[in-house]
Amino acid sequence: MAIREIILEGDPTLLKKSRPVKRFNDRLATLVDDMIETMCDSDGVGLAAPQVGVLRRLFVMDIGDEDDAIVFVNPEIIHKEGLQRGVEGCLSLPGLVGVVSRPLSVTVRAQDVEGDYFEKTFTGLSARCICHETDHLDGILYRRRSETVLCTREEFEEEEQRKRAERERAAQQDDSVKDDVTSPDDGTAILERETDEKGHHGVPENEVST
Ligand SMILES: [Zn+2]
């Protein structure tokens, strides 16, 4: 096993569509082993082949539960259900986070490293990760899906705190002075788009770097 170099945003490889895996041989097994080691070494929960420069349709996932890493070769999401909003990160965009809406659960049909087909339904963080990784196979980075401008985790926390304080202040205002409530627009509202059309401010529950 070996740790491979993770390609960063800016490299055109990440924007290309990957081709199906056709040969289930030792070379594939080595690639999968290396990808798992590289993912663990980087504290990621998922890693797609294009991120290590291989334009083939496969990714690995280990969300840190009791299960081992799962390998998805030629994955296809055959069913999606529900909606979750949460914070995402990506090993190819280190240090950044954004808020992305994904299905709450997905059913995937894929092959394992030996070529055997399996079909399984995943929810929560796994579903988020699978969507993020299959996007990689289609040359899509989560920056394109993010509802917020990507920023550092620290900036994100600061902004969350600022919005929380603002909400508390607004809640304390008397109805009669409602008209005086202003939203300061000083250019620091980097996460403004996080507010959805219902006016809810999502407090993301989990974070993935994949
Ligand atoms: Zn990623």
Distance 26 CA to ligand 1 centre (A): 25
pLDDT at 199: 39
The number of distinct structural domains making up the chain is 1
The continuous run of DSSP H or E covering 171 comes out as helix 153-172
Instruction: Give yes or no: 119 in active site.
Output: no
Structural domain harbouring 132 = 1-210
The string of pLDDT tens digits covering residues 145-198 is 999 999 999 999 999 999 999 999 999 886 656 555 554 444 433 343 333 333
pLDDT at 181: 52
The string of pLDDT tens digits covering residues 65-104 is 777 899 999 999 999 999 999 999 999 999 999 999 999 9
pLDDT at 1: 79
pLDDT at 196: 39
DSSP, collapsed to helix, strand or coil, labels residue 65 as: coil
Which positions ≥6 away from 210 have C-beta within 8 Å?
44, 45, 46, 47, 48, 61, 88, 89, 90, 91, 129, 132, 133
| Prediction pTM value | 0.81
Assign residue 113 the CATH number of its domain. 3.90.45.10
- Residue holding tokens 């902004």? 159
pLDDT at 176: 57
The string of pLDDT tens digits covering residues 25-76 is 999 999 999 999 999 999 999 999 999 999 999 999 999 877 789 999 999 9
pLDDT at 66: 72
pLDDT at 186: 44
Distance 58 CA to ligand 1 centre (A): 13
The active-site residue out of 133, 154, 158, 194 is 133
d(CA 140, CA 156): 23
Could you say which DSSP state residue 8 is in?
A: P
